[in-house]
Amino acid sequence: FTGSAFGSAAIWQYESLKSRVQTYFEEARADWLDKIRPQKRGDFRKQVNSWWNNLTEGQRTVTGIIAANVFVFCLWRLPGMRRIMFTYFTSDPSSRALCSPMLLSTFSHFSLFHMAANMYVLWSFSSSIVSLLGCEQFIAVYLSAGVISTFVSYVAKMATGRFEPSLGASGAIMTVLAAVCTKMPEAKLAIVFLPMFTFTAGSALKAIIAFDSAGLALGWRLFDHAAHLGGALFGMWYVTYGHELIWKNREPLVKAWHEMRTKNAGKGGG
């Protein structure tokens, strides 16, 4: 799954760069037409476009992830969907469905507070992580983080014999938080309800890892501490080594995709 995610992201980036060049002149022409056309007042669509354009690239990127989480949260409210939700949107090594929940549970929250807290952290770190990795690479890392953190949770549950369902985006968000804190350890952070207390990102990451390590060792059941640790370790590893090993070696795949596209375009009459 991780290989497919990064391969798709590399092709997506190639197509995105190609389309930007193509749409540059189209947008310039559209801007010119807007100047000579009579402008409509109170156009709701333009207000939405203005709001969207004022967002950072990171905020625009995570908007789709947040929308997916809200949609799945609404599905939990439908009584007729409960059996499907427990089977495919919670991760449990004793369940009859093992693979798809590793991804789907990353977008699943039963509690409104749980979802709101996770989405707030994701929104807060969205600009930093996307400026660090880029939109396409971030999506590949986020999806991979969800699967990898759930896999670590599976291993811990099998080792301890505690088979209980887990859900939530915390593992993937821990990857985002750990990646940013590893790259920018001196950045200042604060708790939303206690803005007067600030601390460095590096200190926050160490405290979170210590807390989840203690929770895993002592058998606390408040959170899925194994998934949190798996996500954090993956985020630290990726920005330290993974980017060089995976993303910077995508050229052969992109080149093969380019040659295939060129060949197909030639067959179609160029």
Q: Which of 152, 180, 185, 176 is nearest to 166 (CA)?
A: 152
- Whether the Cβ atoms of residue 145 and residue 109 lie closer than 8 Å to each other: no
**Residue 250: what are its φ and ψ, rounded to 5°?**
-85, -5
| DSSP 3-state of 134 | coil
Catalytic residue (one of 114, 228, 243, 258) = 228
Length of the chain in terms of residues written: 270
How many Å apart are CA 208 and CA 183, to the nearest integer? 16
Catalytic residue (one of 126, 128, 170, 225) = 170
DSSP 248: G
* Residue 153 annotated to the active site: no
* Residue 109 annotated to the active site: no
- The partner residues of 48 in beta bridges, in order of sequence, read none
How many Å apart are CA 150 and CA 140, to the nearest integer? 16
Residues 64/69/71/73 CA torsion (nearest 10 deg): -170
Cβ partners under 8 Å of residue 69, min gap 6: 107, 108, 109, 115, 118, 119, 169
How many Å apart are CA 215 and CA 227, to the nearest integer? 11
Helix %, strand %, coil % of the chain (to 5):
75, 5, 20
Give Rg (Cα) of the chain.
21
Which residues participate in catalysis according to the annotation?
170, 228
